[in-house]
Structure formats: C-alpha cells, structure tokens
A and B are shown apart, each in its own frame.
Chain A
Amino acid sequence: MNKINSLQLAVTFIITRLSAEMLLIPGELIKYGPNRFYAILFAKVIVLLLYLPAVFITLRFKGDNFITATMRRSPLLAGFLGLLFTMGITCIIADTVINLQLYITDTLLHSLLLITGVIMIIFAGFYGAYKGVSAVSRTSVFALCFFILLIVLIIITMMPDMDMVYLYPSFIEDGEYFIQSMTAEVSCNSELLMFAVLCANVRQKPNKTLYYLLAVFVLLEVINLIYNLVLGPFLDALEYPLYVISSLSDIVIFQRLDGIDAIVWLFASIIKISMLLVCVKQIYSTVTKKSGSTMFLAVFSLFCFGLCMIIGNDRIIYNSFQKFMNTALPIVFSGAVIPLIALIAGKKRKEKKDE
C-alpha cells in the first residue's frame, strides 16, 4: 500500500478544500458582510465533529480504515457500506468535474465543449489516481505553493485598493443566509470522505492530519477578508470573486493574475478528483481483495464521465443536483454516518465475542 505522512495528507486536504472554495460554493452564497466569517468558523467546528467517527475508527482499529475494519468482521456489510460510500464519492466527483468545466468556460475558454472539458479533467484525474496517493500528495505541495504565491501577490498588489470602511463589526445579520452559507461550507469538505479511507495510508498517527482544518480556516478567513475589503457590496453580484480580484491585480510583468488563478484552481481540482478516485480504487481493492485495480479504475472513470455528461448537458438536472450537493447530505452521510455505522457494527461484534 502507498504510504504517506500526515503532513502530506494535510497539504492535500488544504488544496482539496481550497479548490472547492472557488468551484463549489455558488456565487449567491458568498455575500458581502460579516455573516460568512462566522459561517466559515461554525462550519469548521461542525466538520471537526463530523470527523469523530473516522477518528474513533483509527484509534480503535489501529492502521485500519472503516472499510478494512468492517471487512474483517462482515464482508457483506463492508461491500454494502463500500457501495454507499462510493455513491457519495461519485456525486462529489461529478459535482467537481462539472463545476470545474463551468469555471473554465465562464472565465477562460468560453467556447469549450462540455465533452472536451470533461474528458480532459477525468483523464487527468484518472492518471493521478493511477499514479497513486503518494504521487498525488507530492503534487499537491506544488499546488499549495502556487496558491500561497497567488494569495500573497494578490494581497500585495491589491493593498492600495483595500478599503477598510467596507468592514463593520457585527454578528450574524441574516440567519437564513448564514445557515445556507454554513451548509454550503460543510458540503465543500470532501476531505472527510478521503480521511475515512486514506487514514490507513498514513505512516504516523492519522489524527495529526486534522490540524489542516486550522490552516484552512485561516486561509478561508483571509480570502473572505480580501473579498470584503476589495469588492465591498459588489461581492453580492459576482459569481467568481477571487477570479475578479486576481484580474484586478497587476504586478510588474504579471499583468492580471487571473491566468495564474485559473491554473491553480484547475490544478487543485484535478488533485481532488485524483484523490477521490484513489479512495474508490482502495475500497474496491479491499472489498474484492484484488491488488491490481487499474481496469476497475478505468471503468469507474468512464462511468463518471457518462454521469458528468448527463448532468452537465441538462441545466434542470444540474440545478437540482447542485441543490442536493449544497445540502451537505452526501458529505455528512458518507463522511460521518457510514464510518459511524462501521464503528457501531465493530463494537457489537466485539460485544458478541465477549459474551
């Protein structure tokens, strides 16, 4: 099994979460004002709680993830949970691919065909998954460096255009928006699912990886602060605020940083898709007890491609799907409920043995 350390996994998780910031949260859920600062904070606390079942599994069944732990006790239940879990991951992959494709057509290549975009993204994701968790996590270090560079350049270049008058002290002003925004924030944390599977690949204590939440929290608050200080109330009208801000940034030879911005997001999303495919590959290997699963990976990637084409081709289906994803149900169910079921099933099995 490909092994990585907890820091590598944490970096991958940071990149995964940041890619969702641009692509998965709809523009109407990024509004001007203090609400989102609190939504980010509360979402992180909720996500930390959702991690608990997966964390308990790593503590209880040392070196095992939920699927291996269940497999040892009930292969049938493991197969069933694996299937449910894979459905959750499939939804997230489809959501990421379609939104990335929309992002590319909305910002860079306006005439890019859906099929072309989806093929390229899925193929890149498949290649990453084929190379394995170690290669993808190493790549995410580069992506994070790019991202940090982008944010630093934006802060430096936009400093004169930041207007402190746009900030105002206040608590949650709009309860309904706050709940929506917080739910969307939670729905972006697909790392929950990755952690449930990849904790078995971490050399040291996998729980150390969760420190990434602190780094993500700080980064997201900084990004939100930049949104508010530069764009002010105009933020309410924008679909991709960071893209607009980066297009305003000029630094010496870099006239407009939106190109770098688009590359970083493309890079980050492909890493996320690769990692999700790695998880599916690992579940398949564990349940079927087969070590070579490249063919399955290729078939599953093709299935994802078909699904993306169906959802992406019809605006009504896409809107309903997006609404469903923003409820955070797939994340909560696959990332927390399934590991919890595995944990309870493991405990009951032990109680029976004890009797």
Chain B
Amino acid sequence: MNKLRIAGAVSVLLLVLSLCGCIRYVELSDRAIVQAMGVDYLPDKGIYRISMQYFAQSSEGSKNQIDKTQANVLKSIGEGKSILQAVNNASLLTGKALLLSENRIIILGKEACRLDLKGIMEFFISNFHSHPQTYFACGENTAEEILDIRFKEGYVSSQHLIDIIDNAAALGKSSNEYAYTTMAQLMGGTKSTVLPLLKTEELATDGTIPPGGGNSSGGSGDKKEQQKETTVVPCGVVIFSDGTAKDKADEDVTMGIRLFYNAVEEITITINTDNNRTAALTLYDICTEITPRSIGDTLTFEVNTTAHARFDDRGSIGEVDTKGIEDAISKAESEIEACMKKALDKAKGCRADIFGLENALRNKNPEYYRAVKDNIGDVLFSAEFNLKAKCLPFSLGLQSF
C-alpha cells in the first residue's frame, strides 16, 4: 500500500511539474516594468501618443537591482489610433512584454483631458490591470514633456512625481486621488472629479562654485554660478464635469476644493496686525461637514468648517490680548470662507459636483435625493450654500481663551 502511495505521489509530482509547459509565462527580466505612463491625443492626426517610463534593471540577480547612482528609468513612446494600439506600439521599443500592475502614475496631456476620462481610466484598470491605487494627473501641455524629466530622487523616477503630488495635496495646493476613488466620483450623476495639474518649469537650483574656484576670475571672492534645471511643479487641479476637463483651478481655488473634501492637513494664514506687523496662524484638524436641508423645493447646503488655530507668530498680538486674538481668528475664518466661496463659484461655473454634494444629499436626505435623482446636476447647482468657518485658537498647547 505504501509503495502504491509513493508511486501515486511521484506521478502527481511529475504531472504537476509538467504542467508548467501548459502555461505561457514571461520571466520578470523579460518584462518592461512600467512606472509612469503619459497619454497624449494629437487632434490634428486623430491619434493617441503614449509615453512610458519603465524600470531599467541593473542586473538579473536579487542584489543591485536598483543602482541609485543611475536614473533607473528608460523611456518609450508609441502612437496609434486607439490607446491599445499606441500602448502596443510603445512596447515595441522596449522589446519586452509590458507589466502595468506596478505603474504608479498615469498623466493625461491637455488634449487627452478633453476626451472621456472614465473611458480612459476603465481602459487602464481593466485591460492592463493597472493598480487601483495608481494616481491620475493632468499635464499643462503634453504628458510626454513631464515624463521626459527623469528624477534621480527615490528608487525610481515616478516615486518623486508621486511625492511631489502627495506633498502638494497635503498642503491643499493639489489633489491626490487614487484611480478607484476618482472612478467612484465619476460614477456620480454629474460625472465630476478633479485631477492634479502638473507643469514643467525651469528653476534655478543650488549656486555652485565654478571649476577652478573664484581665482580664475581674478577677484578675491568666490563667484557663484547658477544652474538651471527643468522640474515638475504642481499648479492646482483640473476640474472635470460630464467626464471631460472643463476648467483649471489655481492654487487658491484648489485650497477651497480641498477644504470641502476634508483633505487639507494644515494651512498657514498670514494676517496683518497693527504697526505693519504680521501674525502667522497655522490651522490644523480641519474638518468640513456638509449638511443638506430641504424646505419645500429649496435645497440648502450648510457647510461648516472647523479647525484648530495655532499662533506660530503672534506679531503684535500679546499673550493676553483677547481682542487681538479674536480679530486674528475672525480674519482667518473670513479667509477660509472666501477661499471656499471661490471654489464653490468655480464648481458652479463648471457644473461639477467636486465636493461630494450628491453623496451628502443621498446620505443625509435620501428621500429628497430619490425625488431629484434624475435631475441631480440642476438641483445641486441651483441650491443655496451657507458657508461657515469656525477656528478654535490654541497657543503652545494651551487654549488662549
């Protein structure tokens, strides 16, 4: 019986080992591990242009896969009448099978933003199994010019792009939504969302001493020479409505949008006090609650924002100057309200529900929502909004009053 069992086990093992011949597979070293992808649309030719940054393996072994002294990134481009054709053509240059599951970011060029965003996102999520936590962003001009910049910071170039977006979003100057949250927003009645906007800019970097030091100029001091470097700068967001890009929002408006979202970690507000001095307030624990109220046919959204305010620089406000503190807090509250008002006006202009108003209405007033569901866009943008900001001042951990 034991011999029979051993024979059975061996035959099963042989069968399992031979099964690998039944599966087509590609070795990891034969794959182009895509880290970032750009989608541009050329309207005059009616074609898509895909640019990709993919990971350049330094070696085949487990060690030294990433050589941090190198850019670690290669670029490939492809054109086609459809995104699929363009992606396939881009893969021809790599000479390898594409692996998109590790892709960190997909950037849409200016013209591609005018196409159906949901269609593009669905394509990447379903056809190429992009990770649902992939970032989507927009380029001010073409996506390709952004992917032409290969950062050396981070393990791979795209990591630095992600860091730039994340940091800007934390400060309220950009947005950083994952593909799946953006898709959830696009499934709403107004098909609205915002995506971070990136642009390339030539910035002066560190002053460096030229070769030979300052002696070559014959002067006594070291003469510094400025170097310029092209980098990527976040510059607000692009507002999408009905699935396509409608307008751009600058950093101020973006801040307002992010305040609606509860997505800002900290804001610093500078307030003029007496004698040409300024006080700096940092707002944190920022929380916005949207409550829809319907009286008859009138829908009103009560938008209440609360935050804790810390005086980082008191300016001319004294420690026990209650009136001065009250005035500063009041100014900060007005500034928040003004910022959110700007964002609201922009959203109304684009007819974009970028604040989750539909969700709030469905969540808190489902009966009213069901009644207006088919006409949700008109209802949301004809509604009234009461914006209120309330700041609670703290100083060095102690409540000022």
> For A119, what are the chain B residues with a Cβ–Cβ distance below 8 Å?
19
> For B131, what are the chain A residues with a Cβ–Cβ distance below 8 Å?
247, 256
CA–CA, A210 to B169, complex, Å?
Answer: 51
User: Judging by beta carbons under 8 Å apart, are B23 and A173 in contact?
Assistant: no
Is there a chain B Cβ closer than 8 Å to A46's Cβ? no
Residue of A nearest to B16 (CB): A120
Q: How far is the CB of A243 from chain B (nearest CB, A)?
A: 10
User: Judging by beta carbons under 8 Å apart, are A231 and B362 in contact?
Assistant: no
User: Judging by beta carbons under 8 Å apart, are B360 and A165 in contact?
Assistant: yes
User: Judging by beta carbons under 8 Å apart, are B180 and A234 in contact?
Assistant: yes
> For B74, what are the chain A residues with a Cβ–Cβ distance below 8 Å?
none
Which stretch of A80-88, A107-115, A191-199, A277-285 is in the interface? Answer: A107-115
**Binary contact readout B175-195 vs A (1 if CB under 8 angstroms, 0 otherwise):** 000101101100110000000
List residues of B (101-135) whose CB comes within 8 Å of A's CBs: 122, 131-133
User: Judging by beta carbons under 8 Å apart, are A168 and B23 in contact?
Assistant: no
User: Judging by beta carbons under 8 Å apart, are A247 and B22 in contact?
Assistant: no
Q: How far is the CB of B92 from chain A (nearest CB, A)?
A: 20
> For B181, what are the chain A residues with a Cβ–Cβ distance below 8 Å?
234
Residue of B nearest to A167 (CB): B363
Main secondary structure of the interface of B (DSSP, over half): helix
User: Judging by beta carbons under 8 Å apart, are A168 and B25 in contact?
Assistant: no
> For A256, what are the chain B residues with a Cβ–Cβ distance below 8 Å?
131
**Binary contact readout B1-30 vs A (1 if CB under 8 angstroms, 0 otherwise):** 000000000000000000100111100000
Is there a chain B Cβ closer than 8 Å to A237's Cβ? yes
CA–CA, A234 to B187, complex, Å?
Answer: 6
CA–CA, A115 to B369, complex, Å?
Answer: 50
Q: How far is the CB of B145 from chain A (nearest CB, A)?
A: 31
Is there a chain A Cβ closer than 8 Å to B359's Cβ? yes
CA–CA, A32 to B22, complex, Å?
Answer: 39
**Binary contact readout A135-169 vs B (1 if CB under 8 angstroms, 0 otherwise):** 00000000000000000000000000001111111
From known contacts A120-B19, A247-B132, infer whether A231 and B356 are also in contact, taking CB-CB under 8 Å: no
CA–CA, A234 to B126, complex, Å?
Answer: 13
> For A113, what are the chain B residues with a Cβ–Cβ distance below 8 Å?
22-23
CA–CA, A119 to B180, complex, Å?
Answer: 35
From known contacts A111-B23, A115-B22, A173-B370, infer whether A168 and B362 are also in contact, taking CB-CB under 8 Å: yes
CA–CA, A119 to B131, complex, Å?
Answer: 30
User: Judging by beta carbons under 8 Å apart, are B133 and A232 in contact?
Assistant: no
Is there a chain B Cβ closer than 8 Å to A311's Cβ? no
> For A111, what are the chain B residues with a Cβ–Cβ distance below 8 Å?
23-25
Is there a chain A Cβ closer than 8 Å to B349's Cβ? no
User: Judging by beta carbons under 8 Å apart, are B23 and A248 in contact?
Assistant: no
Q: How far is the CB of B15 from chain A (nearest CB, A)?
A: 8
User: Judging by beta carbons under 8 Å apart, are A237 and B356 in contact?
Assistant: no
User: Judging by beta carbons under 8 Å apart, are B363 and A168 in contact?
Assistant: yes
From known contacts A113-B22, A115-B22, A165-B363, infer whether A233 and B133 are also in contact, taking CB-CB under 8 Å: no
Residue of B nearest to A113 (CB): B22
Is there a chain A Cβ closer than 8 Å to B210's Cβ? no
User: Judging by beta carbons under 8 Å apart, are A165 and B359 in contact?
Assistant: yes
Interface size on A, residues (CB 8 A): 28
User: Judging by beta carbons under 8 Å apart, are B184 and A231 in contact?
Assistant: yes
Is there a chain A Cβ closer than 8 Å to B366's Cβ? yes
Q: How far is the CB of B96 from chain A (nearest CB, A)?
A: 16
User: Judging by beta carbons under 8 Å apart, are A165 and B24 in contact?
Assistant: no
List residues of A (8-49) whose CB comes within 8 Å of B's CBs: 32
From known contacts A165-B356, A165-B359, A244-B132, infer whether A231 and B180 are also in contact, taking CB-CB under 8 Å: yes
Residue of B nearest to A115 (CB): B22
Residue of B nearest to A244 (CB): B132
> For A221, what are the chain B residues with a Cβ–Cβ distance below 8 Å?
none
> For A112, what are the chain B residues with a Cβ–Cβ distance below 8 Å?
23
User: Judging by beta carbons under 8 Å apart, are A237 and B363 in contact?
Assistant: no
User: Judging by beta carbons under 8 Å apart, are B184 and A233 in contact?
Assistant: yes
Q: How far is the CB of A8 from chain B (nearest CB, A)?
A: 25
Residue of A nearest to B180 (CB): A234
> For B24, what are the chain A residues with a Cβ–Cβ distance below 8 Å?
111
Q: How far is the CB of A352 from chain B (nearest CB, A)?
A: 49
Q: How far is the CB of A284 from chain B (nearest CB, A)?
A: 22
> For B183, what are the chain A residues with a Cβ–Cβ distance below 8 Å?
234, 237
> For B360, what are the chain A residues with a Cβ–Cβ distance below 8 Å?
165
From known contacts A165-B363, A232-B359, A237-B122, infer whether A244 and B22 are also in contact, taking CB-CB under 8 Å: no
User: Judging by beta carbons under 8 Å apart, are B23 and A116 in contact?
Assistant: yes
From known contacts A113-B22, A115-B22, A165-B363, infer whether A233 and B187 are also in contact, taking CB-CB under 8 Å: yes
From known contacts A116-B19, A244-B180, infer whether A170 and B187 are also in contact, taking CB-CB under 8 Å: no
From known contacts A111-B25, A231-B180, infer whether A248 and B133 are also in contact, taking CB-CB under 8 Å: yes
List residues of A (186-244) whose CB comes within 8 Å of B's CBs: 231-234, 236-237, 244
- A169 touches which one: B19, B22, B184, B366 (CB < 8 A)? B366
Residue of A nearest to B131 (CB): A247
**Binary contact readout B361-381 vs A (1 if CB under 8 angstroms, 0 otherwise):** 011001001100000000000
Q: How far is the CB of A51 from chain B (nearest CB, A)?
A: 35
> For A244, what are the chain B residues with a Cβ–Cβ distance below 8 Å?
132, 180
Q: How far is the CB of A159 from chain B (nearest CB, A)?
A: 15
User: Judging by beta carbons under 8 Å apart, are B366 and A236 in contact?
Assistant: no
> For A232, what are the chain B residues with a Cβ–Cβ distance below 8 Å?
184, 187, 359
Residue of A nearest to B360 (CB): A165
Q: How far is the CB of B19 from chain A (nearest CB, A)?
A: 6
- Chain B interface residues (CB < 8 Å from chain A): 19, 22-25, 122, 131-133, 178, 180-181, 183-184, 187-188, 356, 359-360, 362-363, 366, 369-370
Q: List 14 A-B contacts (CB under 8 A).
A: A111-B24, A111-B25, A113-B22, A120-B19, A164-B363, A167-B363, A169-B366, A233-B184, A234-B187, A237-B183, A237-B187, A244-B132, A244-B180, A248-B180
Q: What 7 additional pairs, Cβ within 8 angstroms, besides A109-B23, A234-B184?
A: A116-B19, A164-B363, A165-B356, A165-B360, A232-B184, A232-B187, A237-B122
